[in-house]
């Protein structure tokens, strides 16, 4: 059975709001008024990716029979907000802690991999929705908002996957690399390419290439 403590739910909600606000600030050119305006959109495109990333770790840990709990990192929350004003987001507001006496390197690698994999899958889902609605979005204000959500969802989930796979400090990438170097190379290459395309040609151009416009 999947269980959440009250403290864990609180920490997830606080981190969800802060990480969504951080990316909203980043994408509005550090304009607080505009950031608050698009915050609900960011919460769907960004916050959902963050929550499911952490739950991916938690469910994988519990699959192996370990207790796992998300805990926020107050310093990480502050760094996320400050970095958003500097033109990037240091997306480490907290982490899922796995409690077990004999967690193997393989298990730890798989648990760490699940978060970025969730972000990659979410990014592709957002992209597929964007492709499906793109032609109709020209004639519907509601669909334009959905397309914006999907664009942010693709960009940020790609970024979250790539960022967390960097093999430094206590990020997921360091544990995945210790377990299986080939898996790490393949997954970070996918996340990196997706992030690079979203930051260079943009999501709309990716969509237009896919549908042949």
* CA torsion through residues 204, 19, 165, 186, sign: negative
Q: What is the tens place of the pLDDT at every residue in 47-78?
A: 788 899 999 999 999 989 888 899 999 999 99
DSSP code of 180? Answer: -
| Average pLDDT score over the chain | 91
Q: What is the tens place of the pLDDT at every residue in 83-95?
A: 999 888 888 888 8
E strand intervals along 73-175: 94-99
Q: What is the tens place of the pLDDT at every residue in 174-196?
A: 999 999 999 999 999 999 999 99
Who contacts 14 (Cβ-Cβ below 8 Å, separation ≥6)? 72, 77
Torsion region of 174: left, alpha or beta (phi above 0 gives left; psi -120 to 50 gives alpha): alpha
Task: Provide Rg for the chain, Cα atoms.
Answer: 17
Burial (Cβ within 10 Å: 0-12, 13-18, ≥19) of residue 163: buried
pLDDT of res. 117: 97
Active site includes 8?
no
Percent of the chain with pLDDT over 90: 62
pLDDT category at 28 given cuts 50, 70, 90 is confident
Report the distance separating Cα 190 and Cα 183, nearest Å.
11
Given 54, 69, 105, 204, which residue is catalytic? 54
């Amino acid at each position: 059975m999947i269980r959440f403590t009250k403290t864990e739910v609180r920490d997830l909600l606080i981190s969800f709001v802060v990480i969504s606000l951080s990316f909203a600030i980043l994408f509005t050119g550090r304009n607080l008024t505009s950031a608050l305006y698009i915050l609900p959109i960011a919460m769907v495109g960004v916050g959902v990716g963050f929550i499911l990333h952490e739950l991916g770790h938690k469910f994988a840990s519990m699959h192996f029979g370990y207790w796992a709990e998300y805990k926020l990192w107050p310093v990480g929350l502050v760094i996320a907000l400050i970095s958003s004003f500097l033109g990037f987001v240091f997306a480490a507001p907290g982490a899922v802690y796995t409690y077990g006496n004999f967690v193997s390197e393989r298990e730890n690698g798989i648990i760490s991999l699940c978060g970025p994999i969730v972000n990659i899958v979410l990014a592709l889902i957002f992209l597929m929705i964007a492709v499906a609605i793109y032609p109709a979005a020209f004639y519907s204000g509601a669909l334009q908002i959905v397309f914006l959500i999907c664009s942010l969802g693709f960009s940020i989930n790609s970024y979250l996957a790539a960022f967390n796979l960097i093999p430094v400090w206590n990020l997921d990438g360091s544990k995945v690399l210790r377990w299986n170097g080939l898996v790490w190379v393949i997954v970070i290459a996918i996340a990196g390419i997706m992030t690079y395309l979203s930051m260079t040609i943009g999501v709309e151009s990716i969509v237009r290439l896919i549908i042949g416009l």
